[in-house]
Structure 1
């Protein structure tokens, strides 16, 4: 049965969603969200590597995501940057048993090797994304990032764990990671440690929860949660706040997950 769309004026919709952003975009949100993993670190590179690895496995049960991300940090000696840069080949053996859904130990080892390549040869994660950023979008930058990530010898199976928006993917997990790194609204949730990018370039991490709420509120008509839907949602959210459209991820996600909206 199709859910009934709630009819609000643009002003009413903005007021409603702004209130929900205030309700959910605060430190209490961290307690039950995978973003708690990078919050365990202080060094920029540790935050971004732990954030990238955590967002990579951020699908399925949230408790399972957090447990497995913590386990992964254990395997990296709670020093992800040091492990990425300085590991010996034999150090990678400990990662072989790791598994989160379809992301297995071999994928994990490939990710460590690719991250090492990016930090040693491309100036780090921020540099790769910033190099191909467009004025109001990072979707091309995500696609280029995937190319750089897999320009070293790699397992074919691992490529599915990095999305490509140019192949119509909504790239939910990488867009979430970019939100973590780029947004800084002083609430203490997102980090805002990537100065070379701006919140107005971000796209909403579109998943089943945010998609369903967006449709009910008339922000999204397309039924699939794909790259085309993401563009539609981005356009709608930029009308509500052109400078920080992705703050509404907190509202859409909170309404869907915590309120069953």
Structure 2
């Protein structure tokens, strides 16, 4: 099965920049998007063969997630039971016979770290949720997780220590989740490789020079790691300041 995740940074803008061409070309079983920045009725996509699940933020032009899938789920859940998650449209969970698929757009701690306490509370709630799901069946957790986990996951690590997305606290939450029975699929396949990123600033020539961060992930239950066939990044696909990532599993 082929899974794609992409922070589109506004799906309406991304559609005008080649989203549908990539969508049809990649022919995924599951296509997860984050930061859709739209409300119900503002976007209508004719995606033959796909069911569509949208979680809109209440605030206009902000946040939100969606999943497009060829496979009918057993159940669909929005949020993890806390109102804040649902207000910002940050989580969709699809349940299948053999796994849960959890699509997430993690809150940013903000440049001045004003939202770091909320972010750390979010991480704790989400980790409990993922572990509870994992106790029933394997989990595939993906999205823009807004953290570069290790120093090889961003270009300029030393100068970014303590900055939003690379604080010790955010990185420790990722480490704790992985230690509890989950695997970063890309690092499982490529444990030491550098210069692989999924987000670049819009500043002049930053993406051209590959000065980026790897903050988009497919994280899977540890018992799925032997079933990972492909875990890759598509840095040459434009349309957003993030690029799509891909996971292929034999399930």
| TM-score, normalised relative to structure 1 | 0.30
Query: Per residue, is there more strand in 1 or in 2?
Result: 2
Q: Which has the larger radius of gyration?
A: 1
